[in-house]
Every structure is written in C-alpha cells, then in structure tokens.
Amino acid sequence: MLRITKDEALARATEEAGGAPRCEMCVLAGAGARGLALRETANAVAVLSRYAVRRGHVLVVLRDHREAIDELPAEDWLALSRLAWEATRALAAVLSPVRTYVAALGTVTQRANSFPHVHQHVVPLFDGGTSDRPAEVFTWQGGVLCYEPGEAEALTAQLRARWPA
C-alpha cells in the first residue's frame, strides 16, 4: 500500500468528485463501489475504504441518504450493524487483527473526508499500542493508505471468500 499525505488524499477526493460537491457515500452505496463491494444488501453495502489509515478498513454505507442515526428505522440500523459485524468476522479470518473498531462517524456538513450520510467504519488494528487509539485511527493527519493496483481486488476476493453466511 502507498501512504499519501492528507493534502494529497483531499486533492484526489476532490478530483474524483470532478470538483463538484457530492455525497461520496451515496456514490459508494450505488454503483460507485467499482467492483470492490464486499457484500451488498437491500439496505447497505460494505466496501473497502479507498482512503484508509489501516489496511482492510471497511466502510458500511446505508443505501438511503440519511444524515442522522435517529432518523433511521430500527431495521435499517440493524442491517447496517449486521454488515459491520460480518466485516469484523471476515477481517479476523483474513488479516488476524489484534482487535477491530466499529464506529459510526460522519459530520453534520459535507467535507472532503467526511460526509453527512449514515455509515460505519470497521477498522482492523494490528499494533495494540498508542497508534491504535481512536484519535490516531480516525484521522488523516498522518496521511492515508491507498491500495496499489491489484491490492484492493486481491483483498476483496479474500474477504468475500471468508465472509460469514
């Protein structure tokens, strides 16, 4: 994997959006997973994050654009959480992390690296030390990892093969 700076990641994300504001989570929940969807349901999609602080970082994205968890019917939240749980199982089988964080993050306003769209992050942790603290895991300050050609596809295939039924 290639590590790029926060500024480089923000520039790439802006370029991918064509300079126009849009909800990247809506794109991912639609056809934007670009063949890297790990699992799709009627309510949500799980996909490898293109800009991650840890290898194997999975985004679980609600298909409907909702901006607050309290707006969701319970069945939508449960479907989202089910996919996050399944992702933790697949990541454990393939990458053997020390532990895994599952977090519902986002912002009330759209920014280049966060979106007002309900989603969950499933982040495998490998160090067990201070670099695995939430303040380090959920920031782009130290840069982000981008998959080299073929890496994301290979990891996607491995995770799909170990995805719980």
- pLDDT tens sequence across 100-120: 999 986 555 554 445 676 889
Q: How far apart are CA 13 and CA 93, in angstroms?
A: 30
Q: How far apart are CA 93 and CA 41, in angstroms?
A: 21
CATH 3.30.300.350 fits 2-154, yes or no: no
58: which strand partners? 48, 122
| Domain ranges (residues) in the chain | 2-154
pLDDT in tens, 64-96: 878 888 888 999 999 999 999 999 999 999 999
Q: How far apart are CA 152 and CA 135, in angstroms?
A: 25
Between CA 126 and CA 58, with CA 159 as vertex, the angle to 5 degrees is 60
